[in-house]
A and B are shown apart, each in its own frame.
Chain A
């Protein structure tokens, strides 16, 4: 079965890349899709804090770390590899991938490559979209509008919007819904996955004492975000190619 590599990135910081990576890993866990992740926020690794067992902190500009991701796509025992790109690193990472032939390999169908481009509530985020167009042939490009920490989002002017997307092909869009600030903060402080928070489990697997109300908000948020992820063609491929045992277990 063809492996899938998903990059989650943005050239702007603080737009919610790691939150979306976490949400996606949670979603895949609920769907019984085995995955692994690379956190390029070297050396700190925020994603690693929430998914220590499946996440490795790497420096994407080290050849050895590039090999860890790319040379193992076919051999590793998971269907999906997610790379959470450090802020400001998206364009550079794609440039590197283009130079070393990763994008070419994806275009040739050796694996599925997706980019979830997280954009924040500023027009600068729209500029990023145009800058990425040259890399996107053969890449499943997804724009994620992140509402999670924002009470409001800029209004998308239809003309501006069309202008930015005119150069892109086959893009999908998802909206990451707002999550109650206190609930978001509590999950963050607890250092657990969204799923474990809902299930009232602490990071060490013991019974936690999280607020039912906050768990309810997170449960609802995950439900809404699941619906967004379910629409993505990139992820639907994963489900259709799933091993029969995993499908039966769901």
Chain B
């Protein structure tokens, strides 16, 4: 499997970016991929609170932080990366990536870059998602709908606009009970440890829906990863 750079982003705050970043990082951990995470929520940190041993906090508002992240990705042995990008840095970061030809250089270095954009309730969020989609030559662009925060008000009216950016697949995060979300927000909680039963015994009303939720998201991620691999093989004429 080719190494992948996952950029998790949105134009809005508090809609599940860090949750999705954690799930992706833990899914990669479960399949033995040893991902490295860049937490751009500087200085407080977001995902670092949950996966401190894998996470590097970077200030992408400053050139030192940009160098720390990009030079690490392109200057060290390829591995999987997860970038948890706060909404305030969305425009600036994608502008930087475009300016320095990051996607092209990453591709040359053997990476596939996947942008996962969480679309919030406002129509402006769909517009922002389309701007990112139109602005980059990513290997995969995946819109994400988090049912816990809702989606653009009347989905039927924006179906065409959404459909275009979702043609390579989408991820839907299904609803979870508040009690489960509270459980997930415990500092240091790891989905991979949960899936390996490290937290047992757990009450059934947490364990079963959480496992079902994770299996659902993992399946969607694997489907997207699989499509990227097939595209790569197709490019090489092997499929």
| Chain A residues close to B by CB (< 8 Å) | 180, 182, 209, 211-217, 219-220
Contact = CB atoms under 8 A, between A and B. Distances in A.
A211 B67 contact: yes
B102 A216 contact: yes
Interface of A is mostly: helix
Interface in B78-129: 96, 99-102, 105
A216 B101 contact: yes
Interface stretch (B68-76, B138-146, B161-169): B68-76
Given A212-B75, A213-B70, A213-B71, A219 B100 contact: yes
* Most chain B CB atoms below 10 A, which of A209, A213, A216: A213
B74 A182 contact: no
B31 interface: no
A220 B100 contact: yes
Closest 4 CB pairs of A and B: A216-B100, A213-B67, A220-B99, A212-B74
Interface of B: 63, 66-67, 70-71, 74-75, 96, 99-102, 105
Nearest to B62: A182
Contacts of A213: 63, 66-67, 70-71, 96, 100
Contacts of A220: 99-100
A189 B184 CA distance: 49
Given A211-B71, A213-B71, A182 B63 contact: yes
Given A216-B100, A220-B99, A220-B100, A180 B74 contact: no
Contacts of A209: 75
Contacts of B101: 216, 219
A214 B100 CA distance: 8
11 contacts: A211-B71, A212-B70, A212-B75, A213-B71, A213-B96, A214-B67, A216-B100, A217-B99, A219-B101, A220-B99, A220-B100
A212 B63 contact: no
Contacts of B67: 211-214
Given A180-B63, A214-B63, A217-B100, 9 more contacts: A211-B67, A211-B71, A212-B67, A212-B70, A213-B67, A213-B96, A216-B100, A217-B99, A220-B100
A115 B66 CA distance: 39
Contacts of A217: 99-100
Nearest to A209: B75
A212 B71 contact: yes
A212 to B, nearest CB: 5
A132 B205 CA distance: 84
B79 to A, nearest CB: 16
A216 B105 CA distance: 10
Contacts of A214: 63, 67
Contacts of B96: 213, 216
A55 to B, nearest CB: 29
B95 to A, nearest CB: 10
A192 to B, nearest CB: 18
Contacts of B74: 212
A216 B75 contact: no
A211 B68 CA distance: 9
B102 to A, nearest CB: 7
B99 A216 contact: yes
B99 A212 contact: no
A44 B184 CA distance: 65
Contacts of B105: 212
A208 to B, nearest CB: 12
